[in-house]
């Protein structure tokens, strides 16, 4: 194109709410609103982390938690915060971020705001792999993780291969994904029916996605594996944004759409597999985080950074609720029974005060979010 | 698509297929009956053992026919209504609502038999669909299919999360629900079927009345209005019929996947796009597939059984994948 170099030298039109920065061959577009949103999200994450580190049967005030994090505090406080609760909070932040980023990639590649890793059957595939490992091999943590990753990867490959005739199209990918996922979901239901009740409940909690009983080593492993993937993603970023223009336009600007899309999808699958290996298939974070982030920042495209921060905040909050909801309910019930003995006999027994899987909360909250968005949209139109 | 003059032949083949499926469903299982003995027993003779076997397989076969017909017609209505060939009756939140109510019933009231779960399932399905309709149709304009679908998916997600939480904190509820979720025709007594039957029949009648209007809607809503169809009324009718039909099916058998999705497809593929043909064909083809899947489930790992809902997923999913792989899948292109 003869107009190419000329076009590049012309200053870009300054759209509202963004500051183009250029120095030599490097150019950046800064969006102040996105930066502010990122700052707020970070603050929320810090706040929630302090709350998470302080709550439980052994309670700590925020000041005590901060004292421990600064290196002081009583020995007991240090053990509780640093050894018991910190791995879980870090896992929620780190893996929530991975899920958010991965979801954003899926939605960019398929250009479908409702796409999530689930369209590749990853959740169901990982659960199938985990169940098969549990039934046939052993119930040790690393092996279950490996089984889940293998199951997820095999499913993704299968769907990829089935959807591949004549280039992967977003639409065909989704339909094939629905079909294979449904089949695997049935297989999982079937396997859950075949095993002992206690084992099945353990498996089902994992299948919903849970941070209960998490230890530090798998979290550290997952984060270490994610770093190089995120580095590749950072390099890929600009070409990925070109895809939003449509394949022809993207190709005209020097991007190879098919290649970029495959690479992005591969990274997305890898990121979600890492998260799934550690905490099981937590649903809705990957679906909702990029869209919430986009709304907050009012940005035209999905930003991986904001998707990641939103995902981290969402998972942290969901896990906080999941861990403490039922124990809190039981404590409230006891308090009421103690205060009003006459009423005690009439109170319903209530569910056992066990920590729930975080996935239970994410799916409910995600659904609620969808309902609310829908009502809001209807109001706006009315 | 078969030519118009061969359609009676196609219909006859379908009916014959259903008859064969019914016979297979009565004859085969862990304790197979020879055809002659089965015929004897049906007429009041036979041995005590054969009478007992037919006494359990009879209601089971009827349950398969009823649930199948309901699902097939509900699926056809849903696909015509949303003009989305991948729409499934479960989209309106029927399954999630039924599952939630059953889980509540088991956890709070201690229900322990499938017959006792029928009415909570039906009530849950009904309540959730009404809620979905209210959310989807609030504000200006009638309930448009996209909004209804989103509302159904969203509410379904909320309920499924709560259901999972409920079952994971209550082992008995978990045990009951893992069986219910698979979708099965086993142990549904005759009185249960009779109780659900009126609702299913009303649903079928409403569906039959809707067929011409659905043909008009297929051309686009403006054209339908120009032809004198009352789009609002048709939409309401579809929601009522789908609720009754899918609710009945789910109450009887639990969530049976893919029947509502695949059967109308097959009907369209063979008999064309006239809803007045698709609805009855779906009503016959769906029971055929449910019964065959149920029989397969009994034979696959005999003497144990695979629940029918799991078999239908394994029959239906490959068909869906094949459809998606065809270059210009008929009708699927509408989604792009």
Q: What is the pLDDT of residues A107-116, one digit of tens each?
A: 888 777 777 7
The pLDDT mean for chain A works out to: 81
pLDDT of B333 = 39
How high is the pLDDT of residue A39?
92
Residue A180 at interface with chain B, using a CB cutoff of 8 Å = yes
A185 interfacial to chain B (CB closer than 8 Å): yes
Q: Per residue in A36-82, pLDDT tens?
A: 889 999 999 999 999 988 888 788 888 888 888 888 878 888 888 88
- Mean model confidence pLDDT for chain B: 82
Q: What is the pLDDT of residue A310?
A: 93
Higher pLDDT, A307 or A330: A307
Contact B107 A172 (CB under 8 A): no
Give me the pLDDT at residue A7, please: 46
Higher pLDDT, B275 or A223: A223
Instruction: Give the model's pLDDT for residue A49.
Output: 92
The least confident of A96-105, B137-146, B178-187 is B137-146
Of the listed ranges A120-134, B47-61, B248-262, the one predicted with least confidence: B47-61
Q: Which residues of B touch A176 (CB under 8 A)?
A: 320-321, 324-325
Domains of chain B listed by start with CATH number: 60-335 (1.10.3470.10)
What is the rounded average pLDDT of the residues A74-103?
Answer: 89
Q: Name every chain B residue with its beta carbon within 8 A of the beta carbon of A165.
A: 325, 327
**Residues of chain B contacting A175 with CB distance shorter than 8 Å:** 86, 320-321, 323-324, 332
Interface contact A368, partner B, CB < 8 A: yes
Q: Does A172 touch chain B (CB under 8 A)?
A: yes
CA distance A194 to chain B (A): 10
Over 90: is that where the pLDDT of B56 sits? no
List of chain A residues whose C-beta atoms are within 8 Å of the C-beta of residue B313 = 182-183, 185-186
Q: A–B: how many Cβ contacts below 8 A?
A: 156
Q: What integer pLDDT is reported at residue A6 of this predicted model?
A: 46
Question: For position A8, what pLDDT does the model report?
Answer: 47
**pLDDT at A4 (0 to 100):** 43
Domains of chain A: 33-333+355-375 (1.10.3470.10)
| Chain A, window 300-339: residues with a beta carbon less than 8 angstroms from a chain B beta carbon | 326
Report the residue from B154, B155, B168 with minimal CB separation from A201.
Answer: B168
Query: Which has more pLDDT, B150 or A90?
Result: A90
Which residue has better confidence, A34 or A89?
A: A89
Q: Please check whether residue A40 touches B, CB under 8 A.
A: no
Alpha carbon of A203: minimum distance to chain B alpha carbons (Å) = 10
Q: What is the pLDDT of residue B335?
A: 38
Alpha-carbon distance of B282 to B123, in angstroms, equals 25
Cα(B324)–Cα(A65) distance, integer angstroms: 54
B146 shares contact with chain A (CB less than 8 Å)? no
Q: Å from B35 to nearest chain A CA?
A: 32
Rounded to two decimals, what is the model's pTM?
0.79
Lowest-pLDDT range, A117-121, A271-275, B224-228? A117-121
B191 near B116, Cβ under 8 Å?
Answer: no
Note whether B92 and B242 are within 8 A (CB).
yes
Mean pLDDT of B90-99: 82
Mean pLDDT for B206-226 is 82
Q: Decide if A179 and B150 are in contact by the 8 Å CB cutoff.
A: no
Q: Is A288 on the interface with B (CB under 8 A)?
A: no
pLDDT value of position A120:
67
The model's confidence at residue B293, banded by pLDDT at 50, 70 and 90, is very high
CA A99 to chain CA mean position, Å:
3
Between the ranges A219-233, B80-94, B122-136, where is the mean pLDDT highest? A219-233
Q: What is the model's pLDDT at position A381?
A: 62
H or E stretch covering A20? strand A19-23
What does A49-107 look like in DSSP terms, one character per residue?
HHHHHH-SSS---HHHHHHHHTT-S-HHHHIIIIIIIHHHHHHHHHHHHHHHHHHHHHH
Q: Of A106, A101, A26, A91, which Cα lies nearest the Cα of A315?
A: A91
Residues facing residue A20 across a β-bridge: A29
């Amino acid at each position: 194109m003869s107009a190419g170099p000329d076009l590049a030298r012309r200053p870009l039109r300054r759209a509202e709410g963004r500051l183009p920065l250029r120095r030599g061959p490097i150019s950046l577009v800064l969006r102040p609103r996105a930066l502010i949103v990122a700052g707020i999200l970070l603050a929320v994450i810090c706040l929630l982390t302090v709350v998470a580190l302080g709550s439980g049967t052994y309670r700590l005030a925020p000041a005590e938690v901060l004292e421990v994090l600064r290196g002081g505090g009583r020995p007991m406080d240090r053990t509780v915060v640093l050894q018991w609760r910190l791995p879980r909070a870090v896992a929620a932040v780190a893996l929530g971020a991975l899920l958010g980023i991965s979801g954003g990639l899926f939605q960019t590649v398929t250009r479908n705001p409702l796409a999530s890793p689930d369209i590749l059957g990853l959740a169901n595939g990982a659960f199938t792999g985990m169940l098969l490992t549990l039934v046939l091999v052993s119930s040790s943590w690393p092996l279950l993780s490996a089984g889940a990753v293998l199951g997820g990867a095999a499913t993704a490959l299968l769907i990829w291969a089935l959807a591949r005739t004549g280039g992967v199209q977003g639409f065909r990918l989704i339909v094939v994904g629905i079909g294979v996922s449904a089949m695997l979901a049935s297989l999982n239901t079937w396997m859950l029916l075949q095993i002992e009740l206690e084992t099945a409940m353990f498996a089902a909690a994992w299948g919903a996605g849970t941070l209960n009983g998490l230890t530090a080593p798998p979290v550290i492993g997952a984060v270490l594996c994610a770093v190089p993937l995120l580095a590749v993603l950072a390099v890929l970023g600009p070409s990925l944004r070109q895809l939003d223009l449509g394949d022809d336009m993207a190709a005209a600007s020097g991007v190879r759409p098919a290649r970029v899309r495959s690479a992005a999808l591969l990274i997305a699958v890898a990121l979600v597999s890492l998260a799934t290996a550690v905490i099981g298939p937590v649903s809705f974070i990957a679906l909702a985080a990029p869209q919430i982030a986009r709304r907050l920042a009012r940005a035209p495209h999905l930003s991986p950074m904001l998707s990641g921060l939103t995902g981290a905040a969402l998972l942290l909050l969901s896990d906080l609720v999941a861990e403490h909801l039922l124990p809190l309910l039981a404590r409230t019930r006891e308090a009421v029974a103690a205060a009003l003995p006459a009423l005690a006999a009439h109170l319903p027994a209530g569910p056992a005060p066990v920590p729930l899987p975080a996935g239970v909360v994410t799916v409910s909250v995600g659904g609620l979010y969808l309902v609310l968005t829908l009502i809001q949209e209807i109001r706006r139109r009315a | 698509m078969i030519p118009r003059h061969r359609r009676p032949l196609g219909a006859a083949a379908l009916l014959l297929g259903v008859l064969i499926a019914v016979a297979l469903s009565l004859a085969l299982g862990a304790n197979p009956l020879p055809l002659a003995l089965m015929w004897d027993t049906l007429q009041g003779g036979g041995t005590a053992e054969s009478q007992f076997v037919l006494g359990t397989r009879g209601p089971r076969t009827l349950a398969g026919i009823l649930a199948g017909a309901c699902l097939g017609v509900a699926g056809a209505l849903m696909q015509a209504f949303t003009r989305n060939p991948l729409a499934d009756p479960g989209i309106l939140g029927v399954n999630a609502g039924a599952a939630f109510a059953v889980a509540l019933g088991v956890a709070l009231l201690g229900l322990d038999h499938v017959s006792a779960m029928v009415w909570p399932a039906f009530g849950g399905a009904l309540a959730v669909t009404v809620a979905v309709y209210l959310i989807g149709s609030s504000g200006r304009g009638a309930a448009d299919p996209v909004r209804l679908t989103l509302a159904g998916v969203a509410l379904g997600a909320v309920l499924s999360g709560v259901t999972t939480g409920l079952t994971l904190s209550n082992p008995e509820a978990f045990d009951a629900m893992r069986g219910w979720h698979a979708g099965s025709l086993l142990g549904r007594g005759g009185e249960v079927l009779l109780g659900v039957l009126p609702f299913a029949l009303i649903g079928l009648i409403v569906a039959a009345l809707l067929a011409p209007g659905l043909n008009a809607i297929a051309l686009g809503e403006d054209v339908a209005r120009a032809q004198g169809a009352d789009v609002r009324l048709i939409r309401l009718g579809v929601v009522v019929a789908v609720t009754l039909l899918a609710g009945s099916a789910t109450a009887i058998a639990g969530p049976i996947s893919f029947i509502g999705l695949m059967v109308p497809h097959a009907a369209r593929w063979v008999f064309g796009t006239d809803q007045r043909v698709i609805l009855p064909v779906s009503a016959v083809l769906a029971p055929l597939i449910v019964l065959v899947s149920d029989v397969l489930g009994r034979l696959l790992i005999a003497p144990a059984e695979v629940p029918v809902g799991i078999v239908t997923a394994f029959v239906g999913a490959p068909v869906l994948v094949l459809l998606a792989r065809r270059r210009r899948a008929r009708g699927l292109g509408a989604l792009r």
